[in-house]
Chains A and B, each alone.
Chain A
Amino acid sequence: MDRFSWSNGLLEINETLVIQQRGVRLYDGDDKAKLDVGVALLSTHRLIWRDVQNHECCIAMPLSQIILFEEQAAGIGKSAKIVIHLQETPVNKEPGPYQNSKYSFIKLSFKEHGQIEFHRRLTEEMTRKRWENTPVSQPISAGTSSQAGRTRAVGIVGIERKIEEKRKETDKNICEAFEDLSKLMVKAKEMVELSRSIANKIKDKQGDISEDEERGGMMALTEVYCLVNRARGMELLSPEDLVNACKMFESLKLPLRLRVFDSGVMVVQLQSHSEEEMIASALDNVTDKGSLTAEEFAKLLGLSVLLSKERLLLAEKVGHLCRDDSVEGLRFYPNLFSTA
């Protein structure tokens, strides 16, 4: 809307009125303009609008400012509109109702119809460009004649080309985005396959590790890492990939789970193996021997010291065991404090 200048509403010498239409409301971009309904006039040189009540209120804009325009069909409770895209405001423009606007387009809303004819005549005038051949004197020429040169150089074809370029670029961006996404999907697929193969490997190796399973049903992640990579031989797995793969056990409904102890130690654990059983077996063993260190417990179970200690700590955490921390090392006892 800031492309409009105040006008006296009179036509210039070389200017001819093409069409006029009542009941037209102006829109500044998508917003209703702060003007009432009025008459829209199309001349060979300008688009003019005049308030229906107050004839003093009249504004105009050179047609050379128009880049392109399009029709917008009427809808329920909505009048038909013509959307007019405009060039940037000339530097030395005469003042108008709007100092500036965030929009580069205006809309003419036809409350009393007539948009079809108006559109047709506008198209005609935009093609004929009569304002170029018969320039009028002031005030339209101010700033617009210099602008006209640029308009000619660019033209509607130029604009269309520009729009086409923009579309292509958007297209390219979207394609690239999808490419990244598909890369990600491939990665996810790999993870799924990996966690499956880990599960299978552990299952395949059942002969070797079945005793572990019987006793502990768990394996430290570092052991899993070595096992899996030894089995792969080539194309070794990174620790992150392994962790990520193990995190998918649950969503893939595999019979294994990744477990993180309070100490941060991570293990892969048979889902069937319950915590209660683990605690109960720790208590049984300690009670049986009177007291146990993690090393002794590990030897007893044939499990790693690290995992044995985690089990003892777990049993301590639930109050079944207590500790004796002396120069001889950390030793676990049945929790007599609680049972006494």
Chain B
Amino acid sequence: MEYSTLITLREGDICKVARIQAGTTATMRLYEMGFNTGARVQVLKNDRGPIIVGLGGHKVALGRGLAEKMLVARSK
């Protein structure tokens, strides 16, 4: 399985969360918001400013710094 950070993905890409390395607090927060291991995430916007992803039918904006610390597995 190829891992990359969320920030490197492009609009439309779908991936699964593999590992988050953003410090205990931010990691827990993301985990509890549904970015847990295996969660299916779709990149909706990734150009400038926070990245917007779709998660369980809802949109979440994540700071770019955070998206750099999310390891994901691309699924297509």
- Do these two chains really belong together in a complex? no
